[in-house]
Amino acid sequence: MMYWTWAVALLIGLIAYPGTPVAGPITFNSALPVAEGMSILRSQVKLTRKSGDTTPAGRVLNVTAAPVVLAYGASSKLALFGVLPYVDKRLDMTTGGTRIRRDAQGIGDALFFGRYTVIQVDKPGDTLRIAPFAGLKTPTGSHTQSDAFGLVPRILQPGSGSWDPFLGVALTRQTLDWEFDAAAKYRFNTEASGFTFGDEARADASFQYRIFPRTIENTGVPAFVYLVLESNLIWNGKNRSLGVTDPNSGGLTWNLAPGLQYVTDRFVLETAIQIPAIQNLNGTTLESDWVWTAGFRWNFFF
């Protein structure tokens, strides 16, 4: 069932390939160029709510994350990225007849990765790029925080404590009127302090269509407004604690994310809301209600 779903998602991505215009997707990475010597600062606020607990605990998880991304064009084909998030996680649950809150906040795990453009086909007002990427999630976030009830569960900790490599590939087709992006990524999660998060695989697609201006004047660089629709297919493996697999973890989620982007030559403003279309989760794993994302990008030269 899982492989079938992945195959359909990838097929849809390939069929839908007819393109994308500008500035890249909101919920994942594109293959668009970062000019040599140019930097892009990107920041987002992500609010996530998970609930649907089928146990008497009635768990509700709220996560606020604010990742800051710095991209640098080492050359016209090689771009380097660093991501440092701040996270605030709150879990409300009932235990012993009392409603309690467990929470943890702080700097999360930093990501570092490089992306290299291997295919570039440029035409007037049109480009196609394919760029593999690879990187490492580093344990900069704490995984040993405690609250009034003791050590906070690992899923609530700001960091995983582990060094987790990942790799993937991004495809972008961009024209003056629309843009299409697709990306596939796999992260190999490793063990830290007796706990291993399940691996993560995802396949993403994004279509952006310019709604303003309706026609482009034959002068200058106008600002564009894009209507965005994104798809995120995410599979998480089961967690393991001290060698024992947790049956109430991991599963498959397919999100659809409508959004808007305002794109100028210096900055981008964007927002999207990810709504789960399919959730096939293991055991009592909490279901995602929604993820709201808002952010900006700003490009500059040192």
Kindly list the residues in this chain that would bind other proteins in the complex (CB under 8 A): 21-23, 32-38, 73, 75-77, 117, 120, 122-127, 174-176, 179, 216-224, 263-268, 297, 299, 301
174 vs 285, beta carbon nearer other proteins: 174
Q: Which residue has the tokens 């407004």?
A: 225
CB of 120 to other proteins, least distance (A): 7
DSSP symbols for 154-203: GGGSS---S-EEEEEEEEEEEESSEEEEEEEEEE---EETTEEPPPEEEE
d(CA 108, CA 21): 32
| One-letter identity of residue 257 | A
d(CA 277, CA 21): 25
91 vs 263, beta carbon nearer other proteins: 263
CB of 110 to other proteins, least distance (A): 25
162 vs 172, beta carbon nearer other proteins: 172
Q: Which residue has the tokens 């309690």?
A: 100
CB of 216 to other proteins, least distance (A): 4
99 vs 266, beta carbon nearer other proteins: 266
40 vs 281, beta carbon nearer other proteins: 40
179 vs 230, beta carbon nearer other proteins: 179
Q: Which residue has the tokens 């500059």?
A: 300
Report whether 297 contacts 68 (CB < 8 A). Answer: no
172 vs 236, beta carbon nearer other proteins: 172
CB of 65 to other proteins, least distance (A): 24
Among residues 172, 179, 175, 173, the alpha carbon closest in space to that of 126 is found at 175
CB of 249 to other proteins, least distance (A): 38
- CB within 8 A of 76, min separation 6: which ones? 33, 35, 36, 117
CB of 34 to other proteins, least distance (A): 7
DSSP symbols for 3-27: HHHHHHHHHHHHHT-S-B-SS--SS
CB of 266 to other proteins, least distance (A): 6
